[in-house]
A = this chain, B = another copy of it.
Amino acid sequence: MNFLSNAAQAVNEWIDANIKTEFRYNINLYDAMRYSLKAGGKRLRPALLIIAYDLVNGFSTDLKAHPALAYAAALELAHTYSLIHDDLPQMDNDDFRRGKPTNHKVFGEANAILAGDGLLTLAALTFATAKDEIPPHRKLSALALFLEAVGPLGMVGGQYIDMNFADFADSGRGELLETLHTQKTALFIAASLSCGALLAGGGDLEVDALSNYGKHIGLAFQIVDDILDIEGDPALTGKASLQDEKNKKLTYPYFFGIKRSKTIAEEHIWAAKEELKRLKRDTAILSELADYIYGRNA
A interface, CB within 8 angstroms of B: 21, 23, 25-26, 28-30, 33, 81, 85, 88, 90-91, 108-111, 113-114, 116-118, 120-122, 124-125, 128-129, 135-137, 139-141, 143-144, 147-148, 150-153, 156-157, 159-161, 163-164, 167-168, 179, 183
A89: min CB distance to chain B, Å: 9
Main secondary structure of the interface of A (DSSP, over half): helix
Contact between B113 and A125, CB atoms less than 8 A apart: no
Q: How many copies does the complex hold?
A: 2
Report Cα–Cα, A25/B156, bound state, in Å.
Answer: 12
> 5 interchain pairs (CB within 8 A)?
A29-B156, A85-B113, A90-B108, A120-B121, A124-B143
Across the interface, do A128 and B113 meet the contact criterion of CB distance under 8 Å? no
Question: Among B21, B129, B152, which residue has its beta carbon within 8 angstroms of that of A30?
Answer: B152
Closest to A122 in B: B151
- Chain B residues whose C-beta falls within 8 Å of the C-beta of A23 in the assembled complex: 153, 157
- Top 9 A-B residue pairs of the complex, sorted by shortest distance between their CB atoms: A118-B152, A136-B136, A121-B151, A90-B109, A128-B144, A125-B147, A124-B124, A136-B137, A26-B157
Q: Which residue of B lies closest to A159 (CB)?
A: B114
CA distance A135 to B139 in the complex (A): 13
